[in-house]
Chains A and B, each alone.
Chain A
Amino acid sequence: MSKDIKIKKGLDIKLVGEADKTVEQAIISNFCTIRPEDFHSVIPKLIAKEGTRVQAGDVLFHNKDIEAMKFVSPVSGEVVEIERGPRRRIDAIKIKADKPQVFKDFGKFDMTSDAAATKAHLLASGCWAFIKQRPYDVIANPEKSPKSIFISANSTAPLAADLDFVLSGKEQALQAAVSALAKLTEGKVHIGVGSNNSPLASMNDATIHKVSGPHPAGNVGTHINKLDPINKGETVWTVNAQDLVIIGELLLTGKFNAERIVALAGSSVKKPRYFKTIIGSEVSTMVYDNGVDKDGNDRIISGNVLSGKQLKPDGSLGFYHNVITVIPEGDDYEFFGWNKPVFNKISTSRAFTFSWLNPKKKYALNTNTNGEHRAFVVTGSYEEVFPLDIFPMQILKACMYQDLDEMEALGMYEVAPEDFALTEFICVSKQPHQDIIRKGLDLMLKEIG
């Protein structure tokens, strides 16, 4: 039985530079970089040392705590560099890609296998990394069994890749992945779709929910909170819809094919569109040929503008991201910027900010903070954009003073940093909400586990 989700609280941030619905093959990247920091809280144990030749699907490293959890190479080639940070922490593994790609053959998976075999197959093939869990918003612990699995096929984040578009034609792989995942939970696989046109709207072995409303209607956190909120001791898994394709292809063909359709968007991009590329590819293979000035003052973000990661010009596509956003930097002063009427920025108030006059208008925002960091002062504004049944300011403060009991009581098991992206965006005091929540979750993970 499906239950539709309709939310009212939230905010659609409309930005200039939405990707045109045309797909282009990106220039094949010479190097592929995997950054262990994408896998939050995983301590890597390196397998492929410098100089090792790997095929696409060969193990690069495994989780130090759970040896079965492998992380594999998205391309075939040679490991040329292991970048290390302080205390010999592995920052990045750089692979020089071969021209013709060779895939490791994991073998066609028998879809009638039981849960244990499915789990082992996903762990060994590196596909486990796509499955994340709540609480704590980290890669799922394979020893626990989730009460349900959530997938969002509705993208509401600003300039997000349109999942209906990028997933079209992949129904077979999606179905294989959904069916395999359904075996791993005692509960249901919940899929939230924006419309019936979604390729995921007709999946078997899953419950389909129609989701409507402003952002964060597309966040899995919202779906979980409305459908099956997490209680203490329970686990819910989540998978990004586009990663189901990679999982499905592995099951059907035996290949770990890390190809992904990525949106290149943002107001600094002259020709925003979609690209077919590979996880870990250098963003320079897409960005500069499409109207981004090479020496322009722009911010390149792997992911969306709300919770993506800032990249250097030589950076590479993050493991979980399906959008690259380029927006102008805002490192300039603005004369009397704090009191003059504002027409070119978004605001939820009407404090001489006029975005309420024209809700359809698209904005070209830059990275300026529009003010300095302050203590929490204004109340009641977060609640307007926060649809979860949680008190946002109270839980943030509990994280700041590190009161574990209070964090638990207020619903910390249910949230991920991205749920607090909108409250961070509108925060008058410019507090780093997502960072506060991430640190709070890390503390809980360490103390409670």
Chain B
Amino acid sequence: MGLKSNLHNFRQKNKDKKWLPAFSAIHTFLYLPNETTHNGTHIKAADDLKRTMNIVIMAMVPCLLFGMFNAGYQHHVAFGEIERAAGGFFSLDSTFWTMDNFMVGFWKVIPLVIVSYGVGLIIEILFAMKNKHEVEEGYLVTGMLVPLIVPIDIPLWMLAVAVAFGVVIGKEVFGGTGMNILNPALTIRAFLFFAYPTWMSGDKVWVHGAVERDQMIANGSNLDAISGETILGSYAQGNTNVVYDYWDMFWGIIPGSVGETSKFLIIIGALFLIFTKVGSWRIIFSTLIGAITMGLIFNGVVNAGWIPETSKFYGLMNVPFWQHLIIGSILFGAVYMATDPVTASQTNKGKWIYGFLIGFISIMIRVFNPAYPEGVFLAILLMNVFAPTIDHYVVQGNVKRRMKRLKVKTA
């Protein structure tokens, strides 16, 4: 029966081969395996890890596609080739949804995707062969997240080094998918940020071509420098005169990492994840609540007049609390990063605390960190480390209740 039986026979023939996990990864991609239950439950529900991970990837695809349009658009705007677009997401001026914008972005973003998946999956397969287990699906999501959270012009070799670091140190040393403490995608980003800070922040990296232009100027070209600062970058410089309005921020036609600019599409993705019960609504909502709380506190400090207008923190503290949700990548972090079930808190009560603290700390870092104006990824990594501690105390609540019951009985 064609492909199905050929693949089956091939598997039977090579049962003992070391490279079988590599074959299995492809085989199980094409076909749901013929594995049956033994004892225990004789029937199983329809979901497996591949299906679950696939849902997360689908939630990210709109962000990726939008990122391609936006990369081209930002490039052309910065080089003065087109006018700034105005209007809503569906009624944007003809200068945004153009094939030209898309193709510029496409040829910049696709290599990022290929490097991210290529390097990551090769390492995953090697470790699967070494540890004699199947290739687990965790990297399918990580590999998609990585291109979305890096600047468009990041050199590919840097990305490759970072992915290798993130997968090996962030995940495989702990035992692979399901065992890691830190979110692998954020480990990759943290590595890039601390190893190559000039490529991860500043006003040059967010627009395709700006760095190149800078180098040409440095080499003596008589050209204007391109500046494509993120909104947070402007605020952190004390420059409150931002050219974008809130709708631009919401729809996402602003400079930023590849996939995190469109708050509209992130909200759609979030609703999709919550509806399919794949993403934790508890974490998403509590993160936003945490961010709003911190924003309100800062607004209160400003309103009370406790901070002079000359302070370098004044600009960001004065941002109305709700705007914190549409500038920077807090929303992207809340929906796609904080919800990673392995590194988040695993108890329902713990998820509320974990998410709240992520939002709270994100905005705190955003305001107080002068060197790097976005705090979301640091806040999530920090809370990844504390998630087991939060769970510990939640579980202890249950344990204490049990102990108390025993005491009442024996007393």
Contacts and interface: CB of A to CB of B under 8 A. Distances in A.
Contact of A389 (B49, B277, B280, B401): B401
Contacts of A424: 40-41
B45 to A, nearest CB: 5
Contacts of B37: 367-369
A421 B42 CA distance: 10
A411 B178 CA distance: 24
Contact of B47 (A299, A331, A371): A371
Interface string A396-432: 0000000000000111000000000100111111101
Interface in B19-77: 28-52, 54-55
A350 B277 contact: yes
Contacts, number: 223
A372 B51 CA distance: 11
B214 interface: no
Nearest to B341: A379
B275 A350 contact: yes
Interface residues of A, number: 77
Contacts of B15: none
Given A334-B31, A339-B51, A367 B405 contact: no
B351 interface: yes
Contacts of A409: 399, 402-403
Interface string A134-170: 0000000000000000000000001000000000000
B41 A306 contact: yes
Interface string A287-327: 00000000000010100011111100000000000000101
A85 interface: no
A173 B45 CA distance: 40
A266 to B, nearest CB: 10
Interface stretch (A26-34, A201-209, A340-348): A340-348
A336 B43 contact: no
Interface of A: 13, 15, 158, 229, 231-232, 234, 299, 301, 305-310, 325, 327, 329-339, 342, 345-353, 355, 365-381, 383, 389-391, 393-394, 409-411, 421, 424-430, 432-435
B307 interface: no
B47 A349 contact: yes
A336 B348 contact: no
19 contacts: A158-B43, A306-B42, A327-B43, A348-B47, A349-B276, A352-B51, A352-B276, A367-B36, A367-B37, A368-B35, A370-B32, A370-B44, A380-B351, A391-B395, A409-B399, A411-B402, A421-B40, A425-B41, A426-B47
Interface of B: 4, 7-8, 28-52, 54-55, 134, 136-138, 175-179, 275-278, 280, 282, 341-342, 344, 346-348, 351, 391, 395, 398-399, 401-403, 405-406, 409
A368 B50 CA distance: 15
A231 B409 contact: yes
B32 to A, nearest CB: 3
Contacts of B31: 333-337
B167 to A, nearest CB: 16
Nearest to A376: B178
A325 B280 CA distance: 36
Contacts of B275: 350
Contacts of A379: 280, 341, 344, 346-347
Contacts of B403: 409
Contacts of B44: 368-371, 425, 427, 430
Contacts of A234: 409
A113 to B, nearest CB: 30
Given A335-B31, A391-B398, A377 B39 contact: no
B178 A429 contact: yes
Contact of A374 (B38, B137, B278, B346): B137
B94 to A, nearest CB: 35
Contacts of B176: 375
B54 A338 contact: yes
